[in-house]
Structures are given as structure tokens and as C-alpha cells.
Amino acid sequence: MTHAVVDLDEDGRLLVPGTRTPVPEARVAEHLARHLRVPERATDLYVYVHGWQTGAQAAVRAADALIGRAVRLGRESPTAYPGLAARGYRPWCVVVRWPSSSRPSLGGYRRIRDRAHAMSGPGRGQAGFVIGHLLGYLDAARGRPDGPEVLANRAGQYLHLVGHSFGGRFLCEAVQWAAERPAAGPKVLGWSGPTDPARPFTVDSALVFQMAAPRDAFDRLFPGLFPEPGRPGAPLRGPLVLTHSRWDRATGFWHLRAEGLPGIGHSGAGPAPVRQFSTALLATDTPYRKGVLDHPIVNVDAGRVFRGSAVGRRLAPAGAHSDFQHPESAHLLLSLAAFSR
């Protein structure tokens, strides 16, 4: 598995690689086109956004470990993922890194929550603009899954979003913000327009591990992520899959104190503008049925696997919040890729 890296500063501005110099807003699209070359061999493109308390190198290692496990699963049990049989599974990932470290305290939690919102929400935050351009670039550069079959490696490249913790909240906020930019503003998400009305932008799946957001976030904060009558071109057309674990203290104890109620990563999503389905994280030898994952929002109870240091030892401040690097997580990721075909 190969990857590319995109670095953002505290204001969500895209940085010139290896520096703290922001790329001018007018040159973001040009910069991405120059520095991100989508491999033609890739079958699946991932955008991975890390969460709280994650350094730059740790973010890359986390993305590589998760997707690397999925690659190995696909090689070891190819018949378990029939959707991948025809063209294989050759992922390529863009790791979006942002300053997410703070003291492991209530104040630190609130600080990074507020930073994630400021970076990606309306106002001076530029993350929505940058991620919008990133997704628009990947959408335009990839081989279209619904396009004519010319070469095997261009017959279809699928686009997936993966986030962890505040990274999932960050990603949802940025994608929604970018999608709602006025028509007179810069073109970002590659929506269907006068030049190409038949090819709207779409994300084939989105998977967020232990999301640090209120349970009603999709009803109150992110309703624009989903299609609805009169808005068929919403950015998320495939399922949004959310894991949760009662052993997650960051979105349980800390989120309860910071925001007055448990977070999605602890208790799953609550009220939402679209239908939901609840299931459990499955072992690698148990296939997911398409009907289980084929819903706008899927809540996955991962408490059997995501237990972290919450059992048998003194409780760590975040509990099982970052304990998602398991074969079962890769199984879920790979199943979503297979069902996207």
C-alpha cells in the first residue's frame, strides 16, 4: 500500500511539504494536482484523517497499518470478498495530518474539539476548502466506476473516507462545508454542473472509528451530508459506518463532561435525518451481508474488540478510544470496499 500526505496548520491551511508555509488559497488546486498523482493501478482511493493525540508519523503509521491489514485479509481469504475478485484490491491513501495534540485533560479535549471546528467550519477555517479541493481532485482524476471499461486499471477507482475520533468530526464538517459553498465561489467538490450533469461527485463509503461528536451530530451539525428530496447530489451516497465501544472513555467520560452527553464513539449515533441500522463488529471469519451495511448510517458495536486498557489494568485517560487497530476493523474496511463494486 502506498500513500501521500497532506499537512494542514491550525487554521486548516494547506502547507507546502516540509515547511510551515501555507499554500495560497488561489493555488490549492494547482498544488494538489502537482503533488498528488493518483496511481492508475490503484483500485481504491482512501482519504484518512486522524484524531486526538496523534503525531504526524503516528498518523501515517495508523493509516498504513489499517489498510495493510485489509490488503493481507484480501490475499488470505479472496473468496470472502467476492466484490473484489474481478479487479483485485490495490489501495492508495492520502493521509490528512493536522495539529491534534493536547494535554490529556478536559481542557485539552475542549481545546482540540474547538480547533477541529474552527479549522473546518465557516469563518476563517480553510480545511473545508482544502479537503473539498482534495476530494474534487481525486474524484476528477480517478477512473470512473460507472465509466466505460477501457483498461482494467481505469475501469473503476472507488473513493472512501476513513476517520478516527475528531478526525471523523473534522471530515464530516469539512465535507459538508465544502459542499454548501455558494455557486459563485471556487469550484471544490466536483459537483455535477453545466459541463457534466451526468457525473455528480460521490463518496463510495465512509468509515469513522470512535467519532468524537455528540450523538445528535447528524441531525444538528451535519444534515447536509446525505441525499434528500431536491438534493440528490449530496456528498455521501454510500454508507456512513460508525464504530462505538462502551470502553471508550474519551467519548464517554470526557465527552460527557465537555459537551453534556456521551459521544458517538461511546454510544453510537442518536437522532439523524436518515435511517440507521445497528450491528456488531464481526470476526474476520464471519462475512458481512450487504443488507447489514447498505444503510445511510450504520452503527457498529465494537465493544467486544475495542477494549483498550479499560479491562484488567488501571484506566487510561482515553480508555479504548484509540484501540481500533484490529483485524476485525480491517475486515469491516475491506467489506465496504467489496460492496462498493
Give the model's pLDDT for residue 197. Answer: 42
Give the model's pLDDT for residue 187. Answer: 52
Give the model's pLDDT for residue 230. Answer: 54
Give the model's pLDDT for residue 96. Answer: 94
Q: How far apart are CA 336 and CA 159, in angstroms?
A: 11
Give the model's pLDDT for residue 194. Answer: 36
Q: Is 246 exposed, middle or buried (0-12, 13-18, 19+ CB in 10 A)?
A: middle
CB–CB of 172/219 below 8 Å?
Answer: no
Assign 22 to helix, strand or coil: strand
CB–CB of 282/331 below 8 Å?
Answer: yes
Q: How far apart are CA 212 and CA 202, in angstroms?
A: 24
Backbone angles phi, psi at 160, to 5 degrees: -130, 145
Q: What angle do CA 135, 263, 117 make, to 5 degrees?
A: 45
| Residue 135: all three cell numbers together | 476530494
HSE at residue 239, side-chain half, CA atoms within 13 A, is 26
CB–CB of 256/278 below 8 Å?
Answer: no
| Residue 99: all three cell numbers together | 495539529
CB–CB of 160/44 below 8 Å?
Answer: yes
Q: How far apart are CA 125 and CA 163, in angstroms?
A: 19
24 alpha-carbon distance from chain centroid: 25
3-state secondary structure 132-157: HHHHHHHHHHCCCCCCCCCCHHHCCC
CB–CB of 116/169 below 8 Å?
Answer: yes
Give the model's pLDDT for residue 50. Answer: 95
Give the model's pLDDT for residue 316. Answer: 67
The string of pLDDT tens digits covering residues 156-209 is 688 899 999 988 988 887 777 766 664 434 455 544 333 334 445 568 899 999
Give the model's pLDDT for residue 89. Answer: 93
Four-CA torsion 88, 90, 91, 92, nearest 10 degrees: -150
Integer angstrom CA distances of residue 108 from 19, 92, 114, 115: 26, 33, 10, 11
DSSP letter at 82 equals G
Q: How far apart are CA 19 and CA 17, in angstroms?
A: 6
Backbone angles phi, psi at 223, to 5 degrees: -70, -20
* Tens digit of pLDDT at every position of the chain (341 positions): 578 999 999 988 999 998 999 999 889 888 988 888 888 889 999 999 999 888 999 999 999 999 999 999 999 998 899 888 877 899 999 999 999 988 877 788 888 888 887 887 666 678 877 887 888 778 777 765 554 443 333 446 888 999 999 889 888 877 777 666 644 344 555 443 333 344 455 688 999 999 988 999 999 888 888 876 655 566 777 899 999 999 998 888 777 777 878 899 999 999 999 999 999 999 999 999 999 999 999 999 999 999 986 444 455 667 888 999 999 999 999 999 999 88
Give the model's pLDDT for residue 128. Answer: 77
DSSP letter at 203 equals B
Q: Is 309 exposed, middle or buried (0-12, 13-18, 19+ CB in 10 A)?
A: middle
Helices and strands counted in the chain (H then E): 10, 8
Nearest in space to 129 (alpha carbons), one of 219, 36, 28: 28
Q: How far apart are CA 149 and CA 168, in angstroms?
A: 33
